[in-house]
Amino acid sequence: MQAYNTRGSFSSYLYEIRYIILFYVIGDWASTVYALPLGTEYNPVPAMILEYYGIYHLLLVKVGFIFLLFYVAPLIKASSKRWTFTKHIIESVGIFVTANNLMVVWYGNSLIQALGLV
């Protein structure tokens, strides 16, 4: 088993998760800002945050998630495959929700609605 640096610098961590930041944090949040007037937030957790606290608190929660991931990253990095898998899952979710929100903006219908899931 290869040993990995479990506690690197925060800047190297940010570089490692750059696609999570791009799609899950920025892409999802920005597309949500533009899609909300045209549709409804179906995920109950963001819907509650948006209803009671507003759009900027949703961004704050996403940034908090980045700090939480930094805190637990050493546990996940015990296995390089687990860290890679975790990053790809979060990136994939970010790409999916960003694309879903952009479909609401451009077509007035989300991918989830088009698939009949909602």
Q: Which pair of tokens denotes residue 70?
A: 């930094």
CA dihedral (53, 57, 59, 61) positive or negative: negative
In this predicted model, what pLDDT tens digit does every residue of 72-82 receive, in sequence order? 999 999 988 99
Cα-based angle 109, 91, 107 (whole degrees, multiple of 5)? 15
pLDDT along the chain (118 residues), means of 10: 58 95 96 89 90 95 96 92 96 94 88 79
Q: What is the pTM of this model?
A: 0.84
Q: Which pLDDT value is given to residue 5?
A: 52
Q: Which pLDDT value is given to residue 51?
A: 93
Q: Which pLDDT value is given to residue 40?
A: 82
